[in-house]
Chain A
Amino acid sequence: MPLSTQSQGDDEQYVLVANLDNARNLSNILKAIAFKDHAIFTATTNGLKVTVEDSKCLQANAFIQAEIFQEFTIKEDLVAFQINLTVLLDCLNIFGGTTTPGVSTALRMCYRGYGYPLTLFLEEGGVVTVCKINTQEPEEPIDFEFCSTNVTNKVILQSESLKEAFSELDMTSEVLQITMSPSQPYFRLSTFGNAGNAHYDYSKDSDMMELFKCTETQTNRYKMSLLKPSTKALALSCKVSVRTDNRGFLSLQYLVRNDDGQICFVEYYCCPDEEVEEN
């Protein structure tokens, strides 16, 4: 591949170099969180984390482990910058969507450090494009303080069933209510729209339910407008874990397989809209 045979001398100046034979392995997963223009890129030796936030109430993270890349070199412990995600995705798809099997866009992503733009070398069929995207001061991602010890309820579902539910959700409802309970109705999604109410109940014995661990009955409401973007991640995923903690904060974790069958994760954190007392 022409990009990986670039002179090693160039690499001295970069604090981060990441190579991918198939740029789609990055662009597809970034599309799942691209509901805002700006994203915070955080790179460590473990890999790349891309964060997008909305109104301080919603946070989406995409994790692309170092192993996904053909080469992943990082010279510092932590490299972080903010970048326009829409522009980045446009560049990653600069050769257009190709569906020809065997043909893919190769990517080499390089970053010199604070103040420098992110440089992308993209190659397809012998044609090379160089893109330089300006970076900004990275904002600190919100820490939702969501830790496993505070998780009260957790279910893992196969995405198939949840995809159907989300596609049928009544969009005239301002909120999506999630009820999780060790007793009936176990796991329930509810909407309150103009026409009336709708409830989707998943039994704990459902074969779509891979894991069911609910310790107490909790009902929380989340703004539909905040959760709507998560359907993109749901569409890509094969499994999803839904967790709520004692404050009613919601964590959705999606297991995504990329073109090469490798696993990446996307997670969404959302604040509850209001406390609902369970009778």
Chain B
Amino acid sequence: MNCVLEGNSIKAFGKAIHALSRVGDELWLDPTIKGLALRSVNSAHSAYACFLFSPLFFQQYNLDSVREQDSGPIKCKLVMKSVLPLFRCSTSIEHSVKRCQISVSTGSDQVIVQFFCRHGITKTYNVRFLESEALQAVFASHLCPNVLKSPARLLGDMVMHFHASQEEVTLSMSAPKVSLRNYNEGRNDHMKMMHTEMSLHPDEFDYFQAGMDSDITFCLKELRGLLCFAESHCLPVSVHFGTPGKPVCFSVEDMVLEATVVLATLADFESRGPSQPTETPAPTTHSCADAAALPVGIHETQSNNLQVLPDVTELVESSQGSPITYPPVLMQLQCQGDSACAGMTPPSSMICSLLFEAMSSEPGDDDDDGAPRLPVLAYFSDEEDYPRSPSL
């Protein structure tokens, strides 16, 4: 793969990498026919971001080298720390860089980034990449009952009112208004916390669809990067969400690029299905950031909402060309017995559904029912009586 960027595109590319760096520590580079996809996921797998740059974004975009390779398409994973410094200083990029050339050399396992700067200076960086499975989140955003499209600065301005250390916020849809408030673990500290809540009227949005009332809680940190990007490009931000527990999708797009951030949301459940014992919800809730430390199952707040999402998704096919026809599968993370939940059987609130799946390259990985095998990230040790939800 070989592509050339000029002028403002270089700055936009750098900003995309900055936004991705706020999500995860690794950057997946996926050159496809539809364009160059940059992706990242956080370590808890509760946040995923993807920036897709169409070939029109580039001065030149060549995939020829991909086809010549016998080994197949490139699967490229870079350490964020090696790439971010290259695009670190956007003002100096703006002033001094005239052209940027990025190429992937599978022979030497390197991504070569060259900056052609003013004053006859050329900077060349050879960054090693790791062979890796491609990364992709599967999320049917068109099926979400609630859709908001906000002008570029609106969400950014709203988020500015929250302290930088505020981890989670709750977005509430109750027609005809939308509100954003901070979310704090432990409801005992009413007196100590500062509560911030903002409401917005539907008129403030470019598009407002309230399919159902719902309150979703998600991590703000991973979103800030996208909001920054949207603001700098004056692009409206679309938000797709549904019931708590289902992911929320933030996206921006223009003629030459699309960016998506999919975040897991906290799922508070009120009732349980018949296979699980009844239990009143315990007072403490857990944050999205602790997702990996807590037992995860997926519980719908309304059992009649249980549905199998249809096979069609609208995300970009990966360069491997494997069709995305299987239903989204939820990845389960299990804990080793966090002290907070050890005393409770079963745990009171469940976390963060993860509509996320690492794709494997071999078609033979598919099970009989069409769903590919999932890599298990962590194994249960004890606490066998934790209920597991059925895969949707």
Contact = CB atoms under 8 A, between A and B. Distances in A.
A164 B121 CA distance: 11
A183 interface: no
Contacts of B81: 195
B121 A161 contact: yes
Interface stretch (B124-132, B228-236, B301-309): B124-132
Contact of B123 (A196, A199, A205, A207): A199
B85 A208 contact: no
Interface of B: 79, 81-82, 85, 92, 96, 110, 119-128
A119 interface: no
A161 B119 contact: yes
A230 to B, nearest CB: 19
Contacts, number: 53
A201 B124 contact: yes
Contacts of A205: 120
B303 to A, nearest CB: 50
A263 B249 CA distance: 61
A199 B124 contact: yes
Nearest to B125: A198
B121 A206 contact: yes
B125 A208 contact: no
Contacts of B127: 195-196
A259 to B, nearest CB: 28
Given A164-B92, A168-B85, A198 B124 contact: yes
A196 B79 CA distance: 11
A146 interface: no
16 contacts: A161-B121, A194-B82, A195-B81, A195-B127, A196-B128, A198-B124, A199-B122, A199-B124, A199-B125, A201-B121, A201-B122, A201-B124, A202-B120, A203-B121, A207-B119, A208-B120
A209 interface: yes
A149 interface: no
Interface in A209-267: 209
Contact of A200 (B92, B121, B126, B128): B121
Interface in A158-184: 161, 164-165, 168
A198 B112 CA distance: 10
Contacts of B96: 164
Nearest to A203: B120
A99 interface: no
A231 B314 CA distance: 52
B41 to A, nearest CB: 20
B79 A200 contact: no
Contacts of B119: 161, 202, 206-208
A168 B110 CA distance: 20
B24 to A, nearest CB: 16
Contacts of A198: 123-126
A209 B123 contact: no
A263 B316 CA distance: 61
A194 to B, nearest CB: 8
B31 to A, nearest CB: 19
A191 to B, nearest CB: 10
Closest 8 CB pairs of A and B: A195-B82, A206-B120, A203-B120, A201-B122, A196-B127, A199-B124, A197-B126, A208-B119
A128 B197 CA distance: 61
Contacts of A185: 122
A165 B96 CA distance: 12
Given A196-B126, A197-B126, A208 B82 contact: no
